[in-house]
Structure 1
Amino acid sequence: MTTLSQDINHHISEPLLAAYAAGSLESHYALVVAAHVSMCDECRARLAAHEAAGAAVMECSVSKNISPRAKSDVMAMLDQPAPAPEVSYTRSGVFPAPVMAALKGKPPKWKPVGFGVRQSILHADKSGSVRLLYIPGGEAVPEHGHRGIELTLVLQGSFSDETGRFGVGDVEIAGDDLDHAPIADKGDACICLAATGAPLRFTSLVPRIFQPIFRI
């Protein structure tokens, strides 16, 4: 497992870590958290603390008797054949193991969205979306706001916006109070993993026109 903790300055917030530990975080956000945790010793330790706290609460919970029918259902489930083991994925290049799992071990299928920027949608439904973004050095993403939270994890290169600079392993948590136009720093292309819970609010007309086509 590759860790870059000494270089990471922007981490996952406590509420998001707690929700992830409890299994209540939406899947698109959970993928970003899992990828960041795989790269960050500090957040991995914080996550372990949340999981330990949750286990302690479960142990202290008052036990309740269950009905004979419920016991019978549980025993019947135990008699079922064991499911096939899940495929285990490892880091490949700049892509952490959780991202490779989402890609099913295959390279991203990049599609152009303009000005050299490319994307690969990993998942999208009514609850939100998560995608990989490839932004050439020096290029900017059109100015936009958010309807909810956007999580952006840097996998390669870096980008800067009104809130600061984000390098490999950093995650930006952008809320509906932030309008920004991220710019990839010069040098290597910036590759990010980005999750949103709703379509972005673009400032200019052209991005709004193509927004339904690119599903952003």
Structure 2
Amino acid sequence: MSINHHVSDELLLRYASGELAEGWSLAVATHLALCPSCRQRLAKMETIGGALLENISTGTAPDDAWARMRSRLENAATGVSHPTEGRLSVARAEPILPEPLRSYLGGDIDSLKWRSLGMGAYQIPIRLADTSTIARLLRIPAGKPVPEHGHSGQELTLVLAGSFRDGSDVFARGDLEEADAGLTHQPLASEGEDCICLAVTDAPLKFKSWLVRLIQPVLGI
């Protein structure tokens, strides 16, 4: 597996320092479970941060951010064990969903029940304790586009199976796309395999289609 789109330095630093909301942390931790390169980057940040903390001579003791980060990294160790209308039949030797995402959903792809979004697309909302972000598992039919949309806030999309094209970029398993209010796009799932992604947002998407906007409150996207 070759990962070409990694978590940004800014986001990784915020993850390392324990600043991210739960949804963002889930996306970053799941990417880390699939990406040795970013795990190495995080380890370097930990080393540098630990050295800096050791040199601090002020009276206030540092919080446990580094310990929390180390624990998250250990829990995100790569576990890469197994969907029909509502389910996807894919024979794989390894799980599609790595930890910690698999624990959030209660199992791997074959044990999950999908909710229809229409036009062959499905979703599974992910329960979070922190309501500042919304996380969901998305399944987009092979060869089909996501409705064109912009963003009221930020969005992280992590590919877990299949792939999608966004402009000239292709995102496959392990690739992470970061989008913000400056981006309007229409990702297209590649042919041959449904694209399964973890998507995290902190604000509703801004769809171009009036029909999608009409049913958006029902779909919760």
2:128 is the counterpart of 1:133: no
- Stretches of structure 1 that go unaligned for 5 or more consecutive residues are 67-85
Task: Specify the SS of the correspondent of 1:194.
Answer: strand
Q: Which residue of 2 aligns with 1:101?
A: 103
Structure 2 residue aligned with 1:160, among 157, 165, 183? 165
Superposed, 1:67-86 pairs within 5 Å as none
Q: How far 1:91 sits from its partner (Å)?
A: 4.0
Q: Which residue of 1 aligns with 2:34?
A: 39
Q: Which residue of 2 aligns with 1:192?
A: 197
Structure 2 residue aligned with 1:114, among 112, 115, 118? 118
Q: Which residue of 2 aligns with 1:172?
A: 177
2:111 is the counterpart of 1:123: no
C-alpha distance after superposition, 1:140-171 (max 9, x if no partner): 11110012221111110000122511111111
C-alpha distance after superposition, 1:32-77 (max 9, x if no partner): 11111111111010011112222222222225389xxxxxxxxxxx
Matched positions, count: 191
Overall identity of the aligned pairs, in %: 45
CA distance in 2, matches of 1:204, 1:178: 16
* Rg larger in structure: 1
Contact 1:160-1:183 at 8 Å conserved across structures: yes
Structure 1 residue aligned with 2:213, among 208, 211, 214? 208
Contact 1:12-1:171 at 8 Å conserved across structures: yes
Query: Kindly tell me: are residues 138 and 122 of structure 1, through their superposed partners in 2, closer, same or farther at Cα, counting changes over 3 Å?
Result: same
Q: TM-score, with normalisation over the residues of structure 1? A: 0.82
- Stretches of structure 2 that go unaligned for 5 or more consecutive residues are 62-74, 82-94
CA distance in 1, matches of 2:112, 2:53: 40
CA distance in 2, matches of 1:108, 1:44: 28
CA distance in 1, matches of 2:60, 2:162: 55
Task: Specify the SS of the correspondent of 1:97.
Answer: coil
Q: TM-score, with normalisation over the residues of structure 2? A: 0.80
Q: How far 1:211 sits from its partner (Å)?
A: 1.2
CA RMSD of aligned residues (A): 2.1
Contact 2:34-2:78 at 8 Å conserved across structures: no
